[in-house]
Amino acid sequence: MLNLFGNHGNSGERGLAERVSRHSSGWGHLQKHLAAHDSLRVLDIGPTSAVNINYVTSLGHSIYMANLVDEAAKPEWTVPDEAGTGSRFDVDRFIAANLDFAGRRFDVVTFWDTADYLPATLLAPVIDRIHEVMQPGGLLLGFFHVKANIGETRFSRYHLTPTDAVEIQRAANHPILQVYSNRQVEKLLHAFSGYRFFLAKDNLSEVLATR
């Protein structure tokens, strides 16, 4: 599901799970970027957050949201393979349905930890598509689990704050499908002009990539 919000709007949130504050060096850099510029377009990949909508629009920016993990978990994207002996994820149809932004281009993308929850065959095409719809010089913030068991379920919603912290709130029970090393992340971001990794004390690594 794709939602667009200008410099106004609101949206409800599901569930009343506790929020946990987490320091984020990547968000700290991105937050300063948002505060220093006018009329940016932000693409927030993840469960809808009224907090994010209100915060981004209060700065005079517009925000567009796409919850790719919930969508990718739907059985409708699994189709028979060409040999008819198994199944495959319909990558092209998924991207056409969920990453068509009607010509919009984005200055900021918050990708959060989406990568770890998408099927491996889908991830690279998704990142390449996001790269296509970003403005030159645009920034993408991604999180990656570094210590996690495949199949572990702890998919979260990330809420923005005006500080260098984000608030994490459990949103669903989707399993972690992949864990990526820094080298693998670099390969995924091959089309970007540069990227910077941030060390963290918990089980999430951060990367801020420049289009």
Computed over every residue of the chain, the mean pLDDT equals: 89
Token pair 């491996």: residue: 120
Q: Smallest Cα–Cα separation from 135: which of 164, 168, 107?
A: 107
Both structure tokens of 95: 């991207």
Phi, psi values for residue 205, rounded to 5°: -100, 160
Domains of the chain from N-terminus onward: 2-210 (3.40.50)
**pLDDT band, residue 94 (cuts 50/70/90):** very high
- What are 160-190's pLDDT values in tens digits? 999 999 999 999 999 999 999 999 999 999 9
Strands 134-145 and 204-210 come out as: antiparallel
- What are 95-130's pLDDT values in tens digits? 999 999 999 999 999 999 999 999 999 999 999 999
Q: How many CA atoms lie within 13 A of 192 on its CB side?
A: 26
Q: What percent of the chain has pLDDT over 70?
A: 92
Name every residue whose Cβ is closer than 8 Å to that of residue 190 and which is 6 or more positions away in sequence: none
pLDDT of residue 146: 86
Supply the pTM of this predicted model.
0.88
- DSSP class of 176: P
Report how far residue 210's alpha carbon sits from residue 36's, in angstroms, rounded to the nearest whole number: 17
Task: Calculate the dihedral angle through the C-alpha atoms of 208, 69, 100, 107, rounding to the nearest 10 degrees.
Answer: -20
Largest interatomic CA distance in the chain: 54
With a cut of 70, say whether residue 24 has pLDDT above it: yes
Phi, psi values for residue 10, rounded to 5°: -160, 165
Report how far residue 168's alpha carbon sits from residue 161's, in angstroms, rounded to the nearest whole number: 11
Report how far residue 133's alpha carbon sits from residue 118's, in angstroms, rounded to the nearest whole number: 19
